[in-house]
Structure 1
């Protein structure tokens, strides 16, 4: 018999067959999820590593910058100290050195009771570093052996029948008694008809031993202009 029944509703879906499973969308597979998680972790690790390296490099650059600035500041301070020392007349030499100023007339009369022709130096107005001045304030004693530059300048203000002479003499330690050697000398002259000054200067380089003594002698200490006399040395090596 022919079914002639008609309806407006769609027919029901066909039931699935036994053992049939509906395929999952490709994007929801476990492999894709695993790869997505690994990619996310890789991005996070890469970004974290970049931040770590950036921070470390920044710290190193900052430390190097601070170190360079400290060195530059020290150099500027050192240069400034040296400039101040030069302007103020203070010595900035680090090795053994001495620059002696002659005693004035009043001090010389109160301290020099001998008839020696040695010059006596004013310790309060002189520079002395790693070099010893004798108790009579006329002799320098070397504390550190080596090669030294030695200099002296003596100005005479009075005429003398004898030559106006200054000399630097040395006494070697453990040498013969009273064995003093003249290592440098210079002369100048004054006319009897005028009152001008004359200056005798000398300098030289010598190898000095420990405890070796140096002093300056003149023709007569009463002929010396005490405002312009000096004696000094410094170690070269």
Structure 2
């Protein structure tokens, strides 16, 4: 057996290693290209981050601004509704009270509303009369921009009926020195003359304290419309019509005088120069207490 592991023969020389292939020119610039590409991505990422941050900030500022404006608008709207909502409801209820199809309960509610309004107007009239000390209570345009009147009755006990074109009516007269008027003129002692056309709420209350207890007592608000005359030598024609009426019946008790109150009111469209007055059955039956008998209106 031949020993192949131990021999004294010299080994042949090893072949030389293969030459190293030459490095290409592009390989020598690859690290620099990678570095430039990385720098470009960093700049783009920084710009995108700045844009996103600015967008978030502007969105927050815009949201805060819109929220604040909306909050202020809601507060103003809430204050407006809180201030005028009750007035709107009262005006709507007054207009509904002029409906001829109201039932008994609705009419009772209207009467309670009118009674409350009369009490307030009576307090206003009393306060204003004490402030003016008997002078004419005439509101200026700076104090009130609408049109109103609250007239206190003048004692015409014992006088004959003046009335208007309708001779069957007895027109009540009013004490202008102790009444309130604004942008409403008086035609004589009994009439109110409209200066500004529009819708008006008109009211009247008459208290009767004597008279025939078998006869119905009447409180009527009447309107006089003037038509132009066809000739300059004749005065203008007047049309007298009833706007609204109320009635009451005296109930007498032994040893006590009878007394009843007739109240009425409604919303009507009035034109310039139209006149209004209040008529009753008989002037001698009227209670001439200014807090019990009065007449007024105000423009809506």
TM-score, normalization: structure 1?
Answer: 0.64
For 2:211, which of 134, 159, 164 is the aligned residue? 159
Partner of 2:293: 229
Q: Which is further off, 34-43 or 66-75? A: 66-75
For 1:121, which of 160, 171, 174 is the aligned residue? 174
Residues 118-157 of structure 1: pairs in structure 2 closer than 5 A: 118-123=171-176, 128=181, 130=183, 132-134=184-186, 136-146=188-198, 150-157=202-209
Q: Does 1:33 align with 2:39?
A: yes
Structure number with the bigger relative contact order (C-alpha 8 A, sep ≥ 6) is: 1
Gaps of 5+ in 1: 1-15
Decide which structure has greater helix share. Answer: 2
Aligned partners of 1:156, 1:219: CA distance in 2, in Å?
10
Q: Does 1:42 align with 2:48?
A: yes
Q: Does 1:68 align with 2:74?
A: yes
**Residues 45 and 160 (structure 1 numbering): CA distance in 2 closer, same or farther, change over 3 Å?**
same
Query: What SS is found at the alignment partner of 2:46?
Result: helix
Deviation at 1:196, TM superposition (A): 1.7
Check whether the contact 2:209–2:285 (CA below 8 A) recurs between aligned residues.
yes
For 2:227, which of 143, 168, 174 is the aligned residue? 174
State the Cα deviation string for residues 17-60 of structure 1 (Å, max 9, x = none): 9x797555478521221121011111111111111121112111
Aligned partners of 1:96, 1:231: CA distance in 2, in Å?
14
Check whether the contact 2:201–2:265 (CA below 8 A) recurs between aligned residues.
yes
Check whether the contact 1:167–1:182 (CA below 8 A) recurs between aligned residues.
no
Partner of 1:102: 153
Q: Does 1:197 align with 2:286?
A: no
Q: Number of paired residues?
A: 210
Query: What SS is found at the alignment partner of 1:173?
Result: strand
Deviation at 1:157, TM superposition (A): 0.9
TM-score, normalization: structure 2?
Answer: 0.53
Aligned-pair RMSD on alpha carbons?
A: 4.5
Aligned partners of 2:26, 2:275: CA distance in 1, in Å?
118
Query: What SS is found at the alignment partner of 2:227?
Result: coil
Query: What SS is found at the alignment partner of 2:211?
Result: coil
Aligned partners of 1:133, 1:153: CA distance in 2, in Å?
20
